[in-house]
Amino acid sequence: MRQFAVVLRILLIVAILVANFGGVVQAAPARQTDPPPPVAQAGPPSIIGEPGGLITLNGGASTGSNITFQWRQISGLTVTLNGANTAVATFIFPFVPGVALPVLTFELTVTDSLGRTATDTILVTEQQLPAAPALSVIDVPEPPNLATYVRNKPVAIQLGKALFWDMQLGSDGVTACASCHYAAGTDNRVTNQINPGPNGVFDTVG
């Protein structure tokens, strides 16, 4: 009789539940989960920029739900960012002759559909050009004695004239200079004249 009473009580509880909920057992509503928060990826920690060259900032590796992009410069010589509100932004690296530029720093901010944000930064350093090679000096041999090329030495000695020829090597090639000295008392000039002639005037180029 006791077991029968227990079974009867259970059946009564089930009947009450069916009467209250119309025979349908209602499950608890599923909890809606939010998508993962966004992650900003501005690229490698740093890149090298060639002066006057085009630099590309790529945030395409960022993740999130319907994210938007925003690039901004936070340090260094100010540049103009193209596509600052897209995943990929570009700019021209500054070129200042003779001046070492400081590091340029840029920040990428991504925002998802829930308004959550994430940031990342990237550094752009100036490419260091190699140092100019040291100036090398070579010994230039002395020219031969031009006295051997005088056609009539006795006449030249009697006239007391001597022609001195000087040839110098410069960045523009060979520069030739000649000076003519007269016998004492016969030169009516105040100073001796020096004629610096360009290449070819004295047939110095073969």
With a cut of 70, list the residues of the chain below it in pLDDT.
1-30, 132, 137, 139-206
Same domain for 113 and 64, yes or no, is yes
Residue 17: inside a domain = no
d(CA 202, CA 206): 11
Q: Give the single-character DSSP code of 148.
A: G
Same domain for 109 and 163, yes or no, is no
Residue 91: inside a domain = yes
- Which CATH number covers residue 65? 2.60.40.10
Same domain for 121 and 185, yes or no, is no
Same domain for 60 and 119, yes or no, is yes
CB 90, CB 66: distance < 8 Å: no
Nearest to 47 by CA among 101, 125, 130, 107: 125
pLDDT single digits (tens) 112-135 = 999 999 999 999 999 877 776 777
Same domain for 122 and 50, yes or no, is yes
Same domain for 66 and 102, yes or no, is yes
β-bridge partners, 163: 180
End-to-end CA distance of the chain: 138
Same domain for 111 and 180, yes or no, is no
Residue 25: inside a domain = no
Element (DSSP H or E) covering residue 5: helix 2-21
Tell me, what's the pLDDT at 192? 42
Tell me how many domains the chain contains: 2
The last residue of a domain, from among 63, 95, 126: 126
Residue bearing tokens 């000649």 = 178
Q: Global pTM?
A: 0.51
Residue 23: inside a domain = no
The last residue of a domain, from among 94, 126, 158: 126
Residue 19: inside a domain = no
Strand pairing category for 54-58 and 162-170: unpaired
The last residue of a domain, from among 64, 96, 126: 126
b/e map of 106-128 (b: 16 or more CB within 10 Å)?
bbbbbbbeeebbbebebbbebee
DSSP E strands in the chain: the ranges are 46-49, 54-58, 68-75, 88-92, 104-111, 117-126, 162-170, 173-181, 194-197
List of residues 6+ apart from 162 with CB closer than 8 A: 156, 180, 181
Same domain for 122 and 151, yes or no, is no
Element (DSSP H or E) covering residue 21: helix 2-21
Per the structure, the complete domain to which residue 88 belongs is given by 46-126
Same domain for 121 and 154, yes or no, is no
Residue 86: inside a domain = yes
